[in-house]
Amino acid sequence: MIRTVFLGSPAAGVPSLQALHGQEPVRLAGVVTQPDKPAGRRRRLQPCPVKQAAEALGLAVLTPRRIRDPEALQALRAWGPELAIVCAYGQLLPEALLELPRLGCYNLHFSLLPRWRGASPVQAALLAGDATTGVSLQRMVLELDAGDVVAETPPLPIHPHDTAQSLGERLAVEAAALLARSLPLLLGGNPPRRPQDSAAVTHCRLIRKEHGAVDFAAEDAAQIERKCRAYTPWPGCFVFLGARRLGLARVVPAAAPADPAGAADDAAPPGTLRADGCVRTRTGWLRLEEVRPEGKGTMPFAAFRNGNPAAIGARLTPAPA
């Protein structure tokens, strides 16, 4: 039996953990995941999805605050891992851990490397308007996502209405299938490896809450539409109506609206909210289909307009006015 550890945290890692469990001759020695975090209005501590799945499978679980801390590494060494599989763990692995399993550490990365190395490949593909993406299985090295590729999926289409959630869910299923297919190669100890083309590398950033702010004067309609899909469910896109935050739950590019005389209404500055939900951007128009007022749930724009008639004609800004 090959003693194996799995490192992952969000729901995207659960299918791969489940695919690994029960695979002969793998023996899951344990799972490493992120500590419980406060959630909900009462801020009660909640385990992440991978921890919940691991406990349901009866597996040992480690939740170190920092994986590079000596006590965390000591606990891992006690498991005696021969192979490590990583899928969306959320922390960089130190050299001591990368060198611990004799068969190596392998990461399931949700892009076709070398495109979109980094923490947010699913969101980056949507932001860039990529037509396809995929999953890469790569041998981990100290440099982030720079290891040789062992296996990958064929290019997978990105659908016009995909969000980070819908695309991520599909890629999570593909990652689990890729892992199951590739496991015999990993267990053999010498899988085929393709070095990444350094000239084709692109990078993506760690997403922060403030990145969801929308500036109608600085961003064009297509950019904002992709951004709203890329940042669903988190951090979400938002603007401010005066001092009140307004979430943009769903937006669509729109043709230039016409005023009653039939001329294109392009005199108002970008960000001015029309009664039909249309807003002019730096280039092009957007129609707000669904919004989320501060402290309330998502609603159709018409319902928001009916309850907030004074908002029509006001400016939507990226920061409180």
Query: Which phi and psi (to 5°) does residue 56 adopt?
Result: -65, -30
In a shared domain, residues 56 and 190: yes
Residues 36 and 147 in one domain: yes
- Residue 187, C-beta contacts closer than 8 angstroms, at least 6 positions apart: 2, 25, 26, 83, 103
* β-bridge partners, 7: 32, 86
Query: Mean pLDDT over residues 191-209, rounded?
Result: 97
Q: Measured between alpha carbons, how far is 108 from 180 in angstroms, rounded to an integer?
A: 12
Q: Can you tell me the distance from the alpha carbon of 124 to that of 128, in angstroms, rounded to the nearest whole number?
A: 6
Report in angstroms the alpha-carbon separations of 183 from 11, 173, 174, 178, 186: 21, 16, 14, 8, 5
Q: What is the CATH number of the domain that holds 103?
A: 3.40.50.170
Question: Is residue 239 domain-shared with residue 295, that is, in the same domain?
Answer: yes
The whole-angstrom separation of Cα 275 and Cα 266 is 15
Q: What is the pLDDT of residues 123-157, one digit of tens each?
A: 999 999 999 999 999 999 999 999 999 999 999 99
The pLDDT tens digits of the residues spanning 43-67 come to: 889 999 999 999 999 999 999 999 9
CB 211 within 8 A of CB 219: no
Average pLDDT value for residue range 101-124: 98
Clarify whether residues 73 and 113 are in a common domain. yes
What is the rounded average pLDDT of the residues 293-320?
96
Question: Is the same domain home to 156 and 238?
Answer: no
pLDDT at 263: 42
Q: Are residues 287 and 264 in the same domain?
A: yes
Average pLDDT for 91-116: 97
Each residue's pLDDT tens digit, 221-231: 999 999 999 99
Residues 21, 84 within the same domain: yes
Are 132 and 224 members of one domain? no
Which of 204, 237, 263 corresponds to the end of one domain?
A: 204
Confidence of residue 266 (pLDDT cuts 50, 70, 90): low
Crossing angle (nearest 10°) for helices 121-128 and 164-188: 130
Say whether both 173 and 213 belong to one domain. no
Amino acid, res. 241 = L
Q: Which of 183, 204, 225 is the last residue of a domain?
A: 204
Model confidence band, residue 259 (pLDDT cutoffs 50, 70, 90): low
Last residue of a domain, one of 204, 233, 264: 204
257: three-class secondary structure by DSSP:
coil
Q: Is the pLDDT of residue 41 over 90?
A: no
Domain count, the chain: 2
Question: Across residues 85-99, what is the average pLDDT?
Answer: 97
Same domain, 243 and 142: no
CATH of the domain at 226: 3.10.25.10
Determine the structural domain holding residue 98 and report its residue range: 2-204
Residues 150 and 188 in one domain: yes
Could you report the per-residue pLDDT of 281-302, keeping only the tens digit for each? Answer: 999 999 999 999 999 999 999 9
